Structure 1
Amino acid sequence: MADQLIRATAAGGGIRVVGVITTKLTEVARQRHQLSYVATAALGRTMAAGLLLASSMKRPQSRVNIRVKGDGPLGGILVDAGLDGTVRGYVDNPAVELPPNAMGKLDVGTAVGRQGYVYVVRDIGYGYPYSSTVELVSGEIGEDITHYLATSEQTASALTLGVYVGSNGVEAAGGLLLQILPRAAEDLGMVTTLEQRLSSLTGFTPLLRANKTLPQIFEDLVGDMDLTILPESQLVRFHCPCSFDRMLSALKMLGEDELQDMIEKDNGAEATCHFCNEIYHTNSDHLAQLIADLQQDRQKANR
């Protein structure tokens, strides 16, 4: 099943429904970062959450950054997701592994930690980005993002996220977001109904592993509430815009002295992108050209 995001409405437009399948892109992240089982689940859930949050934005270049920082051994998680369906991310300590929790599942909550924060930045493509910080609820990501939506965006939401990692890699990943829009927010019965229906699910990844499609999952949840599935399905993927030229631009910011030191001591430089783990190598000729560019820029500024 292709990685994709599908949108729908229910209750006469009073409920917004978004589902995303992220199996393949989570596997790409697992391989790129050499993630442990629990680190794969933590990053996979956060990437799915990022795509779901970005799906409500309007401008094509809009993006959402999610930073999860807890007191657990995993350290921090950083995800960048866009309305265009691209997402990337990493964890501070990708090799951390923990025993299963009491339910026999990957113990993401302990890996992330229960004390800490979720920091969300929405960049709408112009002006100053909107940012908000809330405390962690459980470290399980889904509950923490739901708390963010209720607290910072004051939107009644129900969210489920899941990643299933087998012996050969990621077998299922994705998430589902139900939001009650302002026109229906005063209907407390609707809020309770949605919470009950979502909580009745045995999880999101079991549905995917049973070959349920997103439209079928939507039908099971709110098919009796005037469900309208929007015709466009959007492909989503792991993508990082880093490049050799961007790496050179970053090195240029170090200044002439630091670049000259790299030439003399290392005869070049190596840089690794945190988001995708791509490694870039540059030789002394590249660094010398950067120094020449800096000198030329200084001469122009002094004219």
Structure 2
Amino acid sequence: MADQLIRATAADGGIRAVGVITTRLTEEARQRHALSYVATAALGRTMSSGLLLASSMKREGSRVNIRVNGNGPLGGILVDARLDGTVRGYVDNPAIELPPNSLGKLDVGGAVGQEGYLYVIRDVGYGYPYSSTVELVSGEIGDDITNYLVTSEQTPSALVVGVFVGEKGVQASGGILIQVMPKAASEPTLVEILEARVDKLSGFTPLLQAGKTLPDIFEQLLGDMGLVILPEVQMVHFHCGCSLDRVLGALKLLGQAEIQDMIEKDDGAEATCHFCGEVYNASSNQLAQLIEELQA
């Protein structure tokens, strides 16, 4: 199934649901960054979470940045997700690998660490971005994003994200976010019912591997609560807006002396984009042109 995002409502608009499949884009990230199994799972979960959070934004150009800084060996995770369905991201230590956890699953919590902070920045397309910081609760990403939604946005939420990585790469990845809107949040029974249903899920990726579609999963969770699946299917993909022109612009900020040093010592410059792993090479002639522009 293609990477996609769909939205739904239930309980007369009192419930908002969003589901996303990110299998191909997570595999692309794995290949671009040469990620280990556990690093793939951690980044994939965070990218799915970013797309789910960005889906509620309204203005064109809106985006969500998620930064996870835990005390585990994986180091930090940074993801940039946009309302248009594009996402990119990286981890500090992509090669780190850990034994399975006590449940026999990839130990994302151990790799990320249970102590540290989750930072979420919402850029709504105008004015100053909104920034929130919460402590990590497990390092498993899904629990931490849910805690952020309840603590910072004060919205009762249930988030399930997952990545299944096999010998041939990412075989299933994605997630689902269900939120109780303010007009229905005063009904504790509704919140409890949703929490119980989400807890009964065997996880998200097992459903995908069993052939379930996003509408199937919505039906399983909300089918008896006036489910309405919105017709728009949004395609999502890994995308980074880096380019050689942007690299040259960044090099220009280093100043004439530093650029001249690159010409004399290295006969050019090489830069790698953290977000996508793309390598850019600037020739000595291109660097000389930057010096001329600075002198002008």
TM above 0.5, yes or no, is: yes
Shift of 1:253: 0.6
Q: Secondary structure at the match of 1:231?
A: strand
- Could you give the per-residue CA deviations for residues 26-61 of structure 1, whole angstroms, max 9, x where no partner exists? 000000000000000000000000000000000120
Q: What letter matches 2:204 in structure 1?
A: F
Match of 2:14 in 1: 14
Match of 1:4 in 2: 4
Q: Secondary structure at the match of 2:270?
A: strand
> Is residue 2:10 matched to residue 1:48?
no
TM-score (norm 2): 1.00
Structure 2: distance between partners of 1:135 and 1:56 = 23
- Could you give the per-residue CA deviations for residues 195-234 of structure 1, whole angstroms, max 9, x where no partner exists? 0000100000000001100001000000000000000010
Match of 1:108 in 2: 108
Match of 1:273 in 2: 273
Shift of 1:104: 0.2
Shift of 1:282: 0.7
Match of 2:91 in 1: 91
Match of 1:36 in 2: 36
Shift of 1:91: 0.1
Match of 1:259 in 2: 259
Q: What letter matches 2:144 in structure 1?
A: D
Residue segments in structure 1 that go unaligned for 5+ positions in a row:
297-303
Q: Secondary structure at the match of 1:184?
A: coil
Match of 2:148 in 1: 148
Shift of 1:18: 0.2
Q: Secondary structure at the match of 2:94?
A: coil
Match of 1:299 in 2: none
- Could you give the per-residue CA deviations for residues 99-130 of structure 1, whole angstroms, max 9, x where no partner exists? 00000000000000000000000001110000
Matches within 5 A, 1:137-286: 137-286=137-286
Q: Secondary structure at the match of 1:162?
A: strand
Structure 2: distance between partners of 1:282 and 1:17 = 46
Structure 2: distance between partners of 1:156 and 1:290 = 52
Structure 1: distance between partners of 2:150 and 2:102 = 28
Structure 2: distance between partners of 1:126 and 1:257 = 37
Structure 2: distance between partners of 1:272 and 1:81 = 20
Structure 1: distance between partners of 2:24 and 2:248 = 30
Structure 2: distance between partners of 1:256 and 1:185 = 59
Structure 1: distance between partners of 2:222 and 2:142 = 20
Q: Secondary structure at the match of 1:171?
A: strand
Structure 2: distance between partners of 1:211 and 1:255 = 56
Match of 1:300 in 2: none
Q: What letter matches 1:206 in structure 2?
A: P
Give the fraction of aligned pairs with identical amino acids, expressed as a percent. 74
Shift of 1:164: 0.1
Shift of 1:150: 0.5
- Could you give the per-residue CA deviations for residues 77-102 of structure 1, whole angstroms, max 9, x where no partner exists? 00000000000000000000000000
Matches within 5 A, 1:97-136: 97-136=97-136
Structure 2: distance between partners of 1:231 and 1:10 = 14
Root-mean-square deviation (Å) = 0.4
Structure 2: distance between partners of 1:235 and 1:289 = 40
Structure 1: distance between partners of 2:148 and 2:220 = 26
Q: What letter matches 1:4 in structure 2?
A: Q
- Could you give the per-residue CA deviations for residues 221-264 of structure 1, whole angstroms, max 9, x where no partner exists? 00000000000010000000000101100110101110001001
Structure 2: distance between partners of 1:208 and 1:295 = 58
- Could you give the per-residue CA deviations for residues 162-204 of structure 1, whole angstroms, max 9, x where no partner exists? 0000000000000000000001000101111000000100000
Shift of 1:138: 0.2
Q: What letter matches 2:295 in structure 1?
A: Q
Q: Secondary structure at the match of 2:293?
A: helix
Q: What letter matches 2:251 in structure 1?
A: L
Q: Secondary structure at the match of 1:98?
A: coil
> Is residue 2:81 matched to residue 1:81?
yes
